[in-house]
Structure 1
Amino acid sequence: MTSVVTQHDVRQTIKEHIYYSVADTRMLRGEGVFLYDSEGRSYIDCAAATFNLSLGYGHPTVIQAIKDQADLLIHLTSSFQSDPINELVARLVEVSPKSLTKVHLKVSGGSEANEGAIKMAQVATGKRDVITLFRSHLGQSMMMSSLSGNAFRKEPFPVIYPGGIHVPDPYCHRCFYAQQPSSCGLLCVKRIDDFVEFASSGRVAAVVVEPISGNGGNIVPPDGYFQALRQFCDDNDIVLIFDEIQTGIGRTGRMFAAEHFGVEPDAITVAKGLGGSGAQVAGILTNDRLAGLPGHHHSFTYGSNLLAAAAANATLDIVAQPEFLENVRTVGDHICARLTDLRARFPQIGDIRGVGLMIGFELEDQAGEPDVALTNHLADKAMEHGLIMRTSRYGFGNVLKIRPPLTLTMAEADLICDRLEGLFHEELA
């Protein structure tokens, strides 16, 4: 008797050999904000893949730029000049805060960019320690896993990178200091002095902060937080590094979140959205003080890749348009307004926070405590409603995130909210 091997059987067999966990769903193609699977179903990707498809799936301008560059050179050692890299350096200096005049592109991803910025700060200051936030997510290398927040990130490893000091997030909805924003006096900055005095080596090189936490729960700091943090760093000769891997390149409706919050850091790291439709590109933008780290201390084979640079230049051409950024702000505000309306009908929805198209909302139980199980359940069920959604803290958190491609139209924003409303009616009513 001849056995019949189905495509499902083949997929299950392959799944057993893939080291990391993957879903049963097999995706075939994407266009704009939509993904299409092998069964003919479509989904709005509210995570923009891994928050990196700023221009969505298959943006024609980005794809054409990659094709054109592939006909010339795919890769070149960064020891030589090239038109794509020269253009990208100039463009990044042009759109970044005015004090950031140096661009390091010999990195391939966000982890490498953050690690490089920290090395620059350590060499420039002659100091060692690094201050980060409780819920921070700075990357996946051993240094970045060590310096990120969350104990579960470090638990499996016998040795972690030394010198990290974790301090409370500016998380007003669940304030570590049990204060209210109107009267707290920004204790989340003022008390950092105590951590430096009692928990550090006394030699702090840098503060690394995501302007809005990515994996940590979409925490938006209160007014004045970054001005106070900038002053703290200046007073203590500490380098202020903004991890804009997720917030940068238009995500907040400004080119960088630093502009939204009105502060100039000493360095900004970029990656993810700079590639537009998935090109692997990253960079470190610094002021003159941080210049001078020798190349042999931080350079990677596939950094400064020409295909990625061509995609990044095409992406910046689009994102830098004022009307493009204005649309990001407009559709983001619209989604937040619709979520606020839904919260009036579904009390399980807690705090709603976001800037531009970096939006998150909490799921809470009747006592107002984080409901992690419900959050993960809704993320799973969202697929049945044509939505791909991610939760905070790798499934340990209670925030559902809405970060679709920045090309999102108002009609698509309403479609997301309509589908969310259907999900809530089915699961929360």
Structure 2
Amino acid sequence: MHNRQNIRDLIYYEVSDHLMTHGEGIYLYDAHGRQYIDCSSGTFNLSLGYGHPEVMAAVREQTEKLVHVTSSFQTEPVNDLVRRLVEVSPESLTQVHLKVSGGATANEGAVKMAQAATGRRDVITLFRSHHGQTMMTTAMSGEAFRREPFPLHFPGVVHVPDPYCHRCFYRQHRESCGLLCVERIDDFIDHASSGSVACVVVEPVSGSGGNVVAPDGYLAALRRLCDERGIVLIFDEIQTGIGRTGRMFAAEHFGVEPDAITTAKGLGGSGMQVAAILSNDALGGLDGSFHSFTYGANVLASAAAATTLEVISRPGFLENVRKTGAQITQRLEGLQAAHACISDVRGLGLMIGIELVDAEGRPNLPLTQRVVRLGLENGLLLRTSRYGRGNVVKIRPPLILTSEEADLIGDRLETVFAQI
């Protein structure tokens, strides 16, 4: 028998000393009864906060009937979810693949669909992208640190610069750049790929990579390039989808219809594990034996997801996301004017980033980590970009946020920066 007494020695991954006991709405509570506003929505997946009553009621009701059945059969919760997803998706996306167990496997499945439909191989993604933690999506994602420990990588991935106007790779300005970040993808295809590109996978707003919002015209130009080259365009909306940006999908902000959208995280409402690939007819036909997972199309999770979509689709809900997001952004812009360490505030809806720099304008990682620590001391749960390696603080509370709660977040952030 081993004699380790500390639970932290038994849990493989790192955990903090905080023992969390329960949550309600936007709030999480620890064993000492202390309350925190969760500005990370769990792992950006609690779109309706902790224990949303309608989602919990749907789960309780479904547990009395059927929790799981093989996805070869129909069930009402799955059928309901499929219909709702098609209804809220861009018009050209008419098919739903639910037999995926999370965002990473949704992204892998979308790539497989593109490869099967085009007969091509390569995948183009962005430098700072994050598409999952499986071996394929680890290779697809940007950031060298993700791949460093592993000797074998999925072949055929071409990484290209982000449309990161605040720190433009090409040292251009948006007013005069002519969207060089899209134009140069032609060069990457001609000179850095195998010559056989199946798809481009892009997050409309980067999740882990620093909350970089695609600039005006970027996604439309990317759509044109893909059409000219016969390449499939996939939007990874694992983090941006299901209302996070103030629209059901971020694609709506940009007026661009991709060939497929992947979605997960917020689809579960209050933490149920569910994901989906939404595709157009051209990507149909991939046999189920090539991409299906035991807990995909789960009946219990589908009941929660269908209820989540019903709540988010109600009149005024997404309008409130845009309103409270603008409220927080305005407070942050006021902080930016008062604190030189804040070099940029950017986002859509309740997906907001604060970029922190030193006196020379360089990314300031120690300060970013200090903001997170002070946030915790002041009752705010915050996360940073690039898995703690970045200089952007992410503000993404549950979408049920009220105007009063948005002000409270602003007040606590002002306290944090005053302490700095």
Which aligned segments of 4 or more residues in structure 1 are displaced greater than 2 angstroms?
A: none
Shift of 1:322: 3.0
Q: Which residue does the alignment assign to 2:82?
A: 89
Q: What are the residue-to-residue correspondences of 1:152-301 with 2, within 5 Å?
A: 152-301=145-294
Give the direction of change, closer, same or farther, for the CA distance of 1:12–1:383 in structure 2 (3 Å limit).
Answer: farther
Distance (Å, rounded) in 2 between the aligned partners of 1:422 and 1:58? 29
Q: What are the residue-to-residue correspondences of 1:100-115 with 2, within 5 Å?
A: 100-115=93-108
Q: Which residue does the alignment assign to 1:68?
A: 61
Per-residue deviation, residues 330-389 of structure 1 (Å, max 9, x unmatched): 000111111000111111111100000000010001111110111012112211000000
Q: Which residue does the alignment assign to 2:376?
A: 383
Sequence identity (%): 66
Distance (Å, rounded) in 1 between the aligned partners of 2:280 and 2:33? 50
Distance (Å, rounded) in 2 between the aligned partners of 1:46 and 1:152? 26
Distance (Å, rounded) in 2 between the aligned partners of 1:295 and 1:228? 33
Correspondence 1:331 to 2:324: yes
Give the secondary structure class of the aligned counterpart of 2:271.
Answer: coil
Per-residue deviation, residues 250-302 of structure 1 (Å, max 9, x unmatched): 00110000111110000000100000000000000000000000000000000
With structure 1 as the length reference, what TM-score do the two structures score?
A: 0.97
Shift of 1:149: 0.1
Q: Aligned AA for 1:295?
A: G
Shift of 1:42: 0.5
Shift of 1:12: 6.5
Shift of 1:195: 0.4
Q: What are the residue-to-residue correspondences of 1:297-316 with 2, within 5 Å?
A: 297-316=290-309
Root-mean-square deviation over aligned CA pairs: 1.0
Give the secondary structure class of the aligned counterpart of 2:158.
Answer: strand
Give the direction of change, closer, same or farther, for the CA distance of 1:277–1:160 in structure 2 (3 Å limit).
Answer: same
Correspondence 1:41 to 2:61: no
Give the direction of change, closer, same or farther, for the CA distance of 1:143–1:411 in structure 2 (3 Å limit).
Answer: same
Q: Which residue does the alignment assign to 1:340?
A: 333
Q: Aligned AA for 1:173?
A: H
Distance (Å, rounded) in 1 between the aligned partners of 2:197 and 2:30? 49
Shift of 1:11: 11
Correspondence 1:367 to 2:364: no
Distance (Å, rounded) in 1 between the aligned partners of 2:321 and 2:315? 10
With structure 2 as the length reference, what TM-score do the two structures score?
A: 0.99
Distance (Å, rounded) in 1 between the aligned partners of 2:52 and 2:142? 35
Distance (Å, rounded) in 2 between the aligned partners of 1:191 and 1:283? 31
Where do 5+ consecutive residues of structure 2 fail to align? none
Per-residue deviation, residues 35-88 of structure 1 (Å, max 9, x unmatched): 000011100000000000000000000000000011000001000011001111
Shift of 1:14: 1.0
Aligned residues: 418
* Matched-pair contact (CA < 8 Å) for 2:4–2:10: no
Distance (Å, rounded) in 1 between the aligned partners of 2:192 and 2:373? 40
Give the secondary structure class of the aligned counterpart of 2:86.
Answer: helix
